[in-house]
Chains A and B, each alone.
Chain A
Amino acid sequence: MSAANGLRGRNYARNYWPFLLPAGVVVLGVIIFPWLFTLYMSLHEFKVGGDFAFIGFDNYVRLASDERFLWSVLRTLYFTVLAVVLPVGLGIAAATVFHRKFPLRSLARTVFILPMMATPVAIALVWTMMFHPQLGVLNYILTSVGLPPSQWSYDSVSVIPTLVMVETWQWTPLVMLIVLGGLASLPADPYEAARLDGASTWDMFRHITVPLVWPHIIVATVIRTIDALKAFDLIFVVSGGGPGTSSETMNLFLYLQAFSFYNMGYAAAVTVVFFVIILLVSLLMFSARQQKQWQ
């Protein structure tokens, strides 16, 4: 946006508020009211059908020593690191493939993004059937190529890597699309100059492509991180947080507190902590992007 635009915008700004009003009212009702009410609730002891009492920061103090919650935080981080690194790495590779022209490219690209568009519950159910240790097709494939069968989501050690595998299958396409958008906007000149200087394809990728699409890679990484922290449908359907509590992430813990145990006040405190973690992570990554730009 140019400076002239900014000035003009400011002069007219007050004439545009009627356009914002209807949406503003709805956003206030379904988005901002819940935020504030959650903050308020988190300072109270409230079980559905029970008493409602102000208890200050007791819910937060209790959280800090609730081992089940603290484990769920660690588990969330473990899941998130894997579910960011794999899709981002694969997504960048996929973007360089789909950036080249080839026959039926747009059809191939559409097929590639189907996993992220499909209804998560529906695909989670089908994956669950494939993970079945005795009857599932995945163990059949493993044993028929001579590998040992796995317990997949039915074992407390393999459940998180298994969920990460599905998450990667599902969300690599989003990273690919964002990075592909970056590749499409690249100028041709630096490549021509580099080619004249005798640079190899890898050199060009390393020293021209990566720095130029870096902002897109950061955006993709931030979005992926937020989505991985928030992952719910897949975990809820495939493992329900189990076996035991071995895949109970923060979001699952929150769901159980709120809608299985009906500890609304406590769950509200979990929400606030969860929200702060998400916000911190996104800010951290955006500042990493700024520093990269200054260098």
Chain B
Amino acid sequence: MAMSMMSAATRKRRRGKLASDIGFGLAVFALISPAILFFLWMLSLSLKNEIDNMAFPPVFIPWPPTLDNFVAVFEKNDFLTYTLNSIFVSFGATGLALLLGVPAGFGIAKAQASKAAAVIMIARVTPGLSYLIPLFLLFQWLDMGGTLWPILITHLVITVPIVVWVMIGFFEGLPHELEEAALVDGCTIWQAFRFIAVPLARPGIVVAMILAFIFSWNNFIFGVVLAGRETRTLPVAVYNVISFEQISWGPLAAAALLVTAPVLLLTLLMQKEIVHGLTAGGVKGG
């Protein structure tokens, strides 16, 4: 008697647990499905021919899938040039920002230079467009149009604050004892930085590098103002596809997918570092 009552209660509790698990699973599904459906639709558009893309009701599953759109992206546009432009600008702006920003983050953290930190914070708050009026005039005056340098230099506006901000956090979190022991033993501050602080902060440098690269890669506003025909970065090039061809959704979706694919892959591979960096700094470029 007692046994059967117990098992009834257990069963009831189990059923309650099962119901709440299903409810929870539905909540997770509801949260992630807008992202999944969006990227699946993007993929579907890029793998369909023009007739299927213009069909109503829409064709959901591309069958047979075609790679024609991707071929068209490279044949009809100078996509390879734009890809190289983007690689040059984003790698350049990220590399320079690391060279400048890692020592600066160290200096700010150690000297507790809160005014320098405030400048970085305000730079984060300022709209990207507001840098462009003076810099646009400056580059015109210096006659630097037609090269990628103006774009690379303006991308430092995004990458330097991200690197400095992430690195301040990391260097503040490091134990002081090792460095101080080194200083007492006669190391210079530079040696303490180079041989003790930097190796310890390597995870932070990786975080800063990934975030700076992604936000530089994604940046549109600087390129759209400063780029000429030959110096477009990928986001600008993709935007220009819509102005030249009327509506051809397949190549457009294929181009959009190509532009964002490196970032999506990087996010999937390095999600731990990215989540860490975003949680700590809440950084976003532009």
Contacts and interface: CB of A to CB of B under 8 A. Distances in A.
Whether chains A and B associate is yes
Interface of A: 1, 5-6, 8-10, 12-20, 22-24, 26-27, 30-35, 37-38, 41, 48, 94, 97, 100, 102, 106, 108-115, 117-123, 125-126, 128-130, 134-135, 137, 140, 144, 169, 174, 177-178, 180-181, 219-220, 223, 226-227, 229-230, 232-233, 236-237, 251, 254-255, 258-259, 264, 267-268, 271, 274-275, 278-279, 282
A118 B157 contact: no
7 contacts: A9-B110, A16-B189, A27-B123, A38-B130, A38-B133, A106-B272, A121-B238
B235 A13 contact: no
B234 to A, nearest CB: 8
A121 B130 CA distance: 20
B197 to A, nearest CB: 10
B268 A110 contact: yes
Contacts of B54: 135
A151 B18 CA distance: 42
Contacts of A33: 134
B125 A119 contact: no
B207 interface: no
A112 B35 contact: yes
B206 interface: no
B218 interface: yes
Interface in B126-146: 126-137
B104 A19 contact: yes
B279 A181 contact: yes
Given A13-B113, A126-B38, A233 B32 contact: no
B111 A13 contact: yes
A41 B133 contact: yes
A223 B21 CA distance: 33
A232 B111 CA distance: 37
A287 to B, nearest CB: 16
A37 B264 CA distance: 38
B276 to A, nearest CB: 9
Pick the most buried of B116, B256, B263: most chain A CB atoms within 10 A of its CB: B256
Contacts of B123: 27, 31
Contact of A275 (B42, B103, B127, B280): B127
Pick the most buried of B106, B225, B268, B275: most chain A CB atoms within 10 A of its CB: B275
Given A30-B131, A181-B279, A97 B107 contact: no
Contacts of B111: 9, 12-14, 16-17, 20
The 10 nearest A-B residue pairs measured at CB:
A19-B107, A23-B104, A122-B256, A181-B279, A37-B134, A16-B111, A13-B111, A23-B100, A119-B260, A19-B103
